[in-house]
Amino acid sequence: MAVPRRGLQDIRTLTGKLKKATLPHEAYLRISHIEMEKARKTRESEKAKQLVADIAARLKEIEAEKEALLQAMGERSVDYRLGRLGPPRGIGGLKIRY
């Protein structure tokens, strides 16, 4: 009866049996990594909130300017829809001949 040959895959090792968090130095490294990521994300979140606040302030400025322009237009009694602004059409204007 032949004995089956053993290969590289039959070697027993301890790989994967220990959890990474059980080693203290690796756990501390992971904690420091998580804390740095938290700090970066907090800073990113604050910048995003400031950007949103800046955009909201600009929108309010735009609305105020629009209201001021509409009020200025409402104070004028001239109706611009009655006549055409600019030179009359009967005048020749610019003519290019080739």
Residues 6+ apart with CB under 8 A from 30: 20, 21
Number of domains in the chain: 1
Condensed to tens digits (0 to 9), the pLDDT of residues 18-57 reads 665 578 888 899 999 999 999 999 999 999 999 999 999 9
| Domain presence at residue 70 | yes
Q: Is the confidence at residue 4, as pLDDT, over 60?
A: yes
DSSP 4: P
User: Which DSSP helix (H) or strand (E) runs through 70?
Assistant: helix 24-75
Whether 2 maps to a domain, the answer reads no
* Sign of the torsion formed by the C-alpha atoms of 53, 54, 59 and 60: positive
pLDDT, one tens digit per residue, over 48-97 is: 999 999 999 999 999 999 999 999 888 775 555 556 666 666 666 777 78
Q: 14 versus 35: which is more confidently predicted?
A: 35
Phi then psi for 31, rounded to 5 degrees?
Answer: -60, -45
User: For residues 21 and 30, is the Cβ–Cβ distance under 8 A?
Assistant: yes
Residue that wins the pLDDT comparison between 32 and 16: 32
Is residue 3 in some structural domain?
no
pLDDT bin (cut points 50, 70, 90) of residue 98 is confident
Q: Could you tell me the residue range of the domain that residue 45 belongs to?
A: 19-75
Would residue 8 count as lying in a domain?
A: no
